Amino acid sequence: MAASRSTEPRFSATFDRYTISEIQRAAATGIYDIRGGGAKRRVPHFDDLLFLGASVSRYPLEGYREKCGTDVVLGSRFAKKPIHLKTPVTIAGMSFGALSSTAKEALGRGASVVGTSTTTGDGGMTNEERTHSSTLVYQYLPSRYGMNPDDLRRADAIEIVVGQGAKPGGGGMLLGQKISKRVAEMRTLPEGIDQRSASRHPDWTGPDDLEIKIEELREITDWEKPIYVKVGASRPYYDTALAVKAGADVVVIDGMQGGTAATQEVFIENVGIPTLAAVRPAVEALQELGMHRKVQLIISGGIRNGADVAKALALGADAVAIGTAALIALGDNNPALESEYNKLGTTAGAYDDWHEGLDPAGITTQDPELAKRLDPVAGGRRLANFLSVLTLEAQTIARACGKSHVHNLEPEDLVALTVEAAAIARVPLVGTNWIPGRDRY
């Protein structure tokens, strides 16, 4: 047999298939790619950490027998009425507008079953989510869409949003096809136009102003409500310190894997830092100020299972928030809808055109017919199940490490699988005592 004269086609690692398709798409349209979700690139994450578990020197707790607490109190620093959640897993802010009313209702139903909170989003508070959420956090955003003192007072906590992990420094965007009559009315905008949310707050700039803004919100609500400050992970040490200085009860740090309703792909993938990289600097700031556990820290961005929850807590967080995982629990990217995803030019597991409002699962849409596909009771049940699993999994790990409360997990329970994760999480590289960046080796 004659030897082949040609080699196998060789694809470039630099110009891979996705990159080539993006160049071709940009050349054809002249506009950047917009999508929902968070960073999809591989970044150091909680997967790169392992728990050590009990051994001769550590005594485990009996699974299913010995108590392992999971509750968390948020807002104990200044608020007269801090909130008390049964699980440290909360639901992150997602707007009515980005999500259908049935999705918002399902989130409220699911969270309430397990005793945790949901969070509004850009666009104001709907009666559905207030009714179905036993504990509701009301976001205070630059756009102030739908903002009013009555909703502030009927919220259980207030979250001042400075930024989010998918786009630190970027404003919001809801394209015209999702601006239905109801969404438009809530945002005081004409129906069908692209809705831009500002990237900066209109009446304060900088930490000194933020302190006065927090004071105003406390005055309006008679110092009852816990006040969170949420930032996209970029400079977590300084942002945490400044939020504490400004008087926050709770600091929320959202890593780059945290989702958005719609943002430029280039922004999502190239601005901000991974969730894992944000935790230790934030905790360090709290510890240096003597505020760790006094000002609570919520971590979000790519939390998917109880191990992620336990690892975030072990690194010093008080709670976590989930967004994308909650939507998946409701039914987002369900393989049963594969043929419909195919019609949209994608596949189950990769669908992220949430801004187009064509979600076959009825979650990221304002089309009433599509929204009807999501049964809020069944969706809420699925979310409650998922939240229960996250809590049980975190408990299982905590017991294995000998902890009677998930908050007793600590960095000493962890090792890292990679040098990068060891340096970032400031725990030893597995099989060594080496913490890169801290120790010489």
Partner 1 sequence: MPMIDLDRQTVRELNAALHRLAPDTNETLWEVTNSDGKHAIGAGVDAPIEIHIKGHVGYYCAGMNKQASICIHGNAGTGVAENMMSGVVHVMGDASQSAGATGHGGLLIVDGDAAARCGISMKGIDIIVKGSIGAMSAFMAQAGNLVVLGDAGEALGDSIYEATIFVRGKVRSLGADCIEKPMAKEDRARLAELLRRAGVEDGDLDEFRMYGSARRLYNFHIDNIASY
Number of alpha carbons in the 13 Å side-chain half-sphere of residue 27: 6
Count of positions (residues) in the chain = 441
Q: Binding to partner 1 by residue 185, rule CB under 8 A? A: no
Q: Which is nearer to partner 1, 144 or 381 (CB)?
A: 144
Name the minimum Å distance from CB 28 to partner 1: 11
Segment 204 to 233, residues that bind partner 1, using CB under 8 A:
204, 209, 212-213, 215-216, 219-223
293 Cβ contact partners less than 8 Å away, ≥ 6 residues apart = 286, 318, 407
Q: Pairing between strand 296-300 and 227-232?
A: unpaired
Q: Which of 6, 7, 10, 30 binds partner 1 (CB under 8 A)?
A: 30
Block residue for tokens 């995803």: 341
Block residue for tokens 């979310």: 383
d(CA 59, CA 40): 39
The CA-atom distances, in angstroms, between 353 and each of 4, 26, 39, 359 are 44, 16, 14, 8
Name the minimum Å distance from CB 152 to partner 1: 8
d(CA 320, CA 202): 29
The DSSP H or E segment spanning 84 is strand 83-85
Candidate segments 142-150, 257-265, 269-277, 327-335, binder of partner 1 by CB under 8 A: 142-150
Candidate segments 26-34, 232-240, 270-278, 424-432, binder of partner 1 by CB under 8 A: 26-34
Name the token pair of 218.
């406390």
Q: Binding to partner 1 by residue 9, rule CB under 8 A? A: no
Q: Which of 6, 29, 339, 433 binds partner 1 (CB under 8 A)?
A: 29
Candidate segments 82-90, 182-190, 380-388, 396-404, binder of partner 1 by CB under 8 A: 182-190
Q: Which is nearer to partner 1, 87 or 221 (CB)?
A: 221
Candidate segments 144-152, 376-384, 403-411, 430-438, binder of partner 1 by CB under 8 A: 144-152
Candidate segments 101-109, 139-147, 303-311, 334-342, binder of partner 1 by CB under 8 A: 139-147
Q: What are phi and psi of 295, to 5 degrees?
A: -100, 120
Name the minimum Å distance from CB 124 to partner 1: 11
Name the token pair of 398.
């905590």
- Per CB under 8 A, residues contacting partner 1 are 29-31, 143-144, 147-149, 152, 175-176, 187-190, 192-194, 196, 198, 202-204, 209, 212-213, 215-216, 219-223
